[in-house]
A and B are shown apart, each in its own frame.
Chain A
Amino acid sequence: MSRNPARGVRKQAHPVREPTGTGVAELVKELWQAAVTLRGSIEPAEYKRFVLPLIFLRFLSLRHEHRRPGAFAVPRKARWSELLAHADEEDIKVRLDDALEALEEAYPERLRGLLPRLYAASNMDRHNVAQLLRLFSREVFIRGLGGEDLLGRVYEYFIGEFASSEGKRGGEYFTPASIVRLLVAMLEPMRGVVYDPCCGSGGMFVQSDLFAQHSRQLAFFGQESKEFTYRLCRMNLFIHGLDGDIRLGNTYFEDKHPTLKADYILSNPPFNDGSKGREGWGADKLSEEDPRLEIAGKRMPLASRNANPMWMMHFLHHLKEGGSAGFVMAAGELSNNHAGRLEVRSTLIESDFVDCVVQLSSQLFANTQIPCTLWFLSKARAGGRGGRKRQGELLFIDGRALGAMIPGSRKQRQLSDEDVERIASVYREFRSTGRPEEVPGFARVATLQEVRDHAYALTPGRYVGSADVEEAEDFEERLPRLTAQLEKELARAESLDERLRALVKDLLRGA
C-alpha cells in the first residue's frame, strides 16, 4: 500500500533517490533560515523543543484536511486553521499547549508522552510563535498532494540541523543522509524486521521504508537512550506514516528488545564511546553472563574504555540467521590492537561473520573530521535467500576518494547518488552474483587467510592497494613503525657515511 501511488513504480534504477528535486532542498533551507531568525531569546539547544511540535501539529492537520486514508481526526482545538486564526492573540502560547494536550487526550495510545505542554511556561516571545505559525502556513504546504512529503523533508532537515548545531557530545553524530542512503542501498531491506538499537530520530527506518517503497513489509524496532530524541523518533515515524516499536533506555544495560532477532540491522552507534570520560562507558555494570558477550560460543572480554566492540556484539546477537547488519564505525576499529578490541575483531573474522568493510572520506559528518567506515556482518554467508555462498571471502571497498564538497560548505562532503550506487552495486554483486572483479584502489575480494596475514587489520586500503594506507592508521600503530624505519635508515646512513669518508680520503690522495 504505497502512500503515493504515483511513485509506486516497482523497479527503479535508483530506488533510494531523494523523493523530491533540488528546488525543494533550497526551499527547506530557506524555511530553516526563517525559523532560526525567530529563535529570539531561546537557547539554541532548546529551540527544537518549540519548533518540532509545531511541525507535527501542522502535519496532522494537513493529513486530516486532505482526508488521507488512516489520517487521525484532529480535535478542533488542535487544528492548524484554528491556531492560525488566533495567532496574534495574547493567549496563543496557552492555545498551543491546549492543542497538544487535546491531541494527546484524543490518542493516548500512540501519542502518550510525546507532546508535553511547554509554550506557556517558556519565555518565548508570542510574536515569534505567531511568525512560526505563519511560516508553516505557507502555500507550498497546501499545494497539491506534495505538502506532506515536503513537511516530512522539512522535519528531517530540521532534526539534522538541530543535531549539528548542538555539536558532538561523546562521539554521537547525526548520521548524514548520504551515509544512511548508502547503508540502505547496500543492505536492501525489503521484508522483515529492521532494528536499530541507537536509532536517534529514526533516519534508518524512514530511509528503509522509502527503499521498500512503503510496502509495509518491514517492521521497525528501535531503542534510544535520550528522552527527547526518543520522542522525536516516534514523531518522525508518525509523520512518515510508519509504525514502530521504539523504546527508551540505555542499550548497554537495559536491552529493551532482549529476544528480538532482526533480518536487518542498520545503525550508527556513538564513536568510541567511553574513551573520553574518566568512567568509560560502564562495562563493569554488565553481567558476566550477558548473552551478548559471546561470539560463536566464545566468551569475549570487554574494553572498558571503548564501547565499539560492545556494539558489534550487540548487533551480532540480535541478528537472525540469514540476516545482515550494516553499521557505521570509527576508522580506528579496523586496525586497533588493544587486546580486548583485537580479540573481538579477530573472533568476528575467524567465525566468518565479517562480510564487507567500506572506508569513506573523513569529511562526511557535519561536525567531526573523524574518518568513518561501514562494517557489514552477516549470518547469511553460507548462501540462501538469493544470496551467494561466500564463506572465507571478505569484500573490501576503499571509498575515500568518493564524494564532493556540499555546495556552500567548506568542511563537509557528501556522496552523490552515483557514488552510493557505485559502492552498493559492488556489494550486491558480491552478495548475490559472484566475486566482483577487482578494481585496483577501490574494491577487491580478499581471502580469510590474507586477513590473517595482515594480523586481522581490516583497513580496506591494504587489500585494494591504495597508495596511502598509513593515513588511516592509528597513531599508536604508526608511531613505532615509523621510528623503527627511521632507526634502520639512520644506521644505514652511518655505514654509508663511513664508506664515503674512505672514498673522500681516496680521492684526496689521488688528486
Chain B
Amino acid sequence: MGRERRTVTLGELCEFRGGVAFPLRYQGRPRGDFPFIKVSDLSRPGNELFISRAEHWVDAETASALRARPVPASSIIFAKVGEAIRQNRKRLTTRPTLLDNNLMAAVPREGVEPRFLYYLLCTLDFEEQIEGSALPYLKASVLEQIEVELPALQEQRRIAEVLGTIDERIELARQLNRTLEALASKLFQAWFVEFYPVVAKSEGRQPLGMSEEVAALFPDELVMTEGDPLPQGWRWGTLGDVARQVRERTRPGGLEGSTPYIGLEHMPQRSITLAHWGTAAQVQSQKSRFRKGHVLFGKLRPYFHKVGIAPVEGVCSTDILVVEPFEESFFSFVLGHLSSVEFVSFANAGSDGTRMPRTSWERMARYPIALPDEPCVAAFDRLTRPLFDKLLANIEEGRTLLQLRELLLPWLLTGEAPAPAEADAP
C-alpha cells in the first residue's frame, strides 16, 4: 500500500553543506550569476517560503575566487551559527544559490522529494541540536545522525503536495497584499497629492484609471493658492479636519486573555498589512482599545514607518495611536495620508526626545493637506475599499491556512494521517 515507513538518518536523505566567508568588498552588488544569501535574507519580505529576493549577488568569477560552490535549486537552507538557529527558519532555494558561513544547506539526495524533505526538516527543532555554549552552532556530522521516519516516495509526494498547496496560497496572499498596498498608495498619491486627474484634464486628456463619471468630479484647472497649486474649488486644511484620535484606555485586569493585542513589535515597517498579533494575556499595563478598520500609527520612533489597518478588534500598546476618520467615506483618504512617506517624515520631524522620540496626535493633526470636494473623496473610497477589504480577507485566510499547516504538518509526517481514499489512489 505504500504506507510502510522506514527509519533512516538525515545523512541518507541529504548532504549538509555549510557556506563560505563573504568578504565585505564583494557585498552589495544588485545583480550577478548567483544570489549570495545571508541570515538576514531569511527574514526579508517575500522570502517566507522560497528565497526569491537577495540583497547580494556575485558573478561566477567571484564565486570561484571565493571557492564557493552554489547549492542547487530545491535545497533547504537554515541558520548554522548564532541565536538565529533558535528561530528554526527554513527556506527553499529556487536557483543555484551561494550561502555565507552562518548558513547551512540540506541538499536532497537522489530519490528524495525535496519539498518533502523541507517539511520533514520543518518538524525538527534544531535548537535541540545546538553545540557550543558561548556561540551556538550546528554541526553537519550531528545533523546527519538524526533518525527520521521515511515514507515511500509516492507518499512523500502526497505530503509535499498537500502542504505545498497550503504554503503557496499563504505566500500568494502575502504577495497579493503587497500588490494591493502598492496599488492603493499609488492611486492615493496620484489623486490627492500629485492631482493627476486635474492635470490630465487640464491637458485635455481623459485621466487614466477612472470612469468618466468619476473624472467629472474633478476640476480641470489648478490655481495658485498660498504659494502652492491646488485644484480649483478645493481648499487647504489639515489632517485634523478629517480625522481624530480614538482614546479609549483599558485597564489590564478588565480584558479577556484572548483579546488580540498589537504592539509595535507586531507591526511591519512600511506596510499597512498587520498580519500578526499577540493576546492580551501577555500584557500587563494600560492599553488602548481599537476596532477593526481603525488606523494604527506607531508614534514611538515614527521613522520606523509603522502604520496599518486594524485587522480585528483588540487592544494595542499606548505607543500606537488609534485614528479614525470623522466621516466613514474618508477612510481611504485618511489612511492614504497617514501611511505616506511624506506624512511619516512630517510626524518624525515633530517628535520629542532624542533616543526614543515620540510624536503626538496634536502634531499629526496639523499636517497640511489639500481638502477635496466630498464626492471626490467618496469616489476614491468606493474605488479602493475593495482593495482594503481583500487585504483584510487575505490576512484572515492566511492565518487560517497557517493554523491548518501547523496542524497538518506533524500529523502527516508522523504517519498518523489516514491513507488517501482509494478512489484518489493511482
- Residues of chain A touching chain B, judged by Cβ–Cβ distance below 8 Å, are 165-169, 275-278, 305, 367, 369, 405, 410, 438, 440-441, 464-466, 470, 475-476, 478-480, 482-483, 485-486, 489-490, 492-493, 496-497, 499-500, 503, 506-507, 509-511
Contact = CB atoms under 8 A, between A and B. Distances in A.
Give 7 nearest A-B pairs by CB, closest first: A465-B30, A167-B227, A475-B190, A440-B28, A510-B418, A410-B349, A305-B203
5 contacts: A167-B227, A367-B228, A479-B187, A500-B166, A507-B408
Nearest to B168: A496
Contacts of B424: 506
Interface string B223-243: 010111100000000000000
Interface size, B (range):
35 or more
A503 B346 contact: no
Contact of B186 (A405, A464, A479, A496): A479
B28 A441 contact: yes
Contacts of A168: 224, 227-229
Interface of B: 28-31, 162, 165-166, 168-169, 172-173, 175-176, 179-180, 182-183, 186-187, 189-190, 193-194, 196, 199, 202-204, 208-209, 221-222, 224, 226-229, 342, 346, 349-350, 408, 417-421, 424
A169 B228 CA distance: 8
Nearest to A366: B227
Contacts of B226: 167
Contacts of B162: 503, 506
B349 A475 contact: no
Q: Which of A169, A438, A493, A510 is packed against the most chain B CB atoms within 10 Å?
A: A493
Given A168-B229, A483-B209, A500-B166, 13 more contacts: A166-B227, A167-B224, A440-B30, A475-B186, A479-B208, A482-B179, A483-B183, A486-B180, A489-B172, A493-B169, A499-B165, A500-B165, A506-B162
Contacts of A464: 30
Overall SS of chain A's interface: helix
A481 B304 CA distance: 28
A475 B194 contact: yes
Contacts of B418: 510-511
Contact of A476 (B28, B208, B346): B208
B414 to A, nearest CB: 15
A18 to B, nearest CB: 25
B186 A169 contact: no
A511 B346 CA distance: 56
A169 B224 contact: yes
A168 B223 CA distance: 11
A485 B202 contact: no
A266 B203 CA distance: 29
Q: Which of B31, B204, B229, B349 is packed against the most chain A CB atoms within 10 Å?
A: B229
Contacts of A277: 202
Given A168-B228, A475-B194, A470 B182 contact: yes
A166 B417 CA distance: 75
B186 A482 contact: yes
Contacts of B182: 470, 482
Contact of A496 (B31, B172, B204, B420): B172
Contact of A275 (B183, B203, B417): B203
A249 B199 CA distance: 27
A276 B176 contact: no
Given A165-B227, A168-B228, A276-B202, A496 B30 contact: no
B196 A475 contact: yes
A259 B63 CA distance: 57
B388 to A, nearest CB: 14
A167 B222 CA distance: 14
A475 B224 contact: no
A496 B228 contact: no
Given A169-B224, A475-B190, A483-B183, A496 B203 contact: no
A486 B228 contact: no
Contacts of A493: 169, 172-173, 176
A485 B418 CA distance: 39
Contacts of B193: 369
Contacts of A503: 162, 165-166
B28 A278 contact: no
Nearest to A488: B179
Nearest to A461: B30
Contacts of B194: 475
Contacts of B186: 475, 478-479, 482
Contact of B417 (A441, A483, A496, A510): A510
Contact of A510 (B183, B187, B222, B420): B420
Contacts of A410: 346, 349-350
A441 B172 CA distance: 28
A492 B227 contact: no
B199 A275 contact: yes
Given A493-B172, A510-B417, A475 B189 contact: yes
Contacts of B173: 493
A28 B28 CA distance: 43
A174 to B, nearest CB: 12
B415 to A, nearest CB: 13
A440 B204 CA distance: 41
A464 to B, nearest CB: 7
Contacts of B222: 276
Contacts of B417: 510
B104 to A, nearest CB: 27
A400 to B, nearest CB: 12
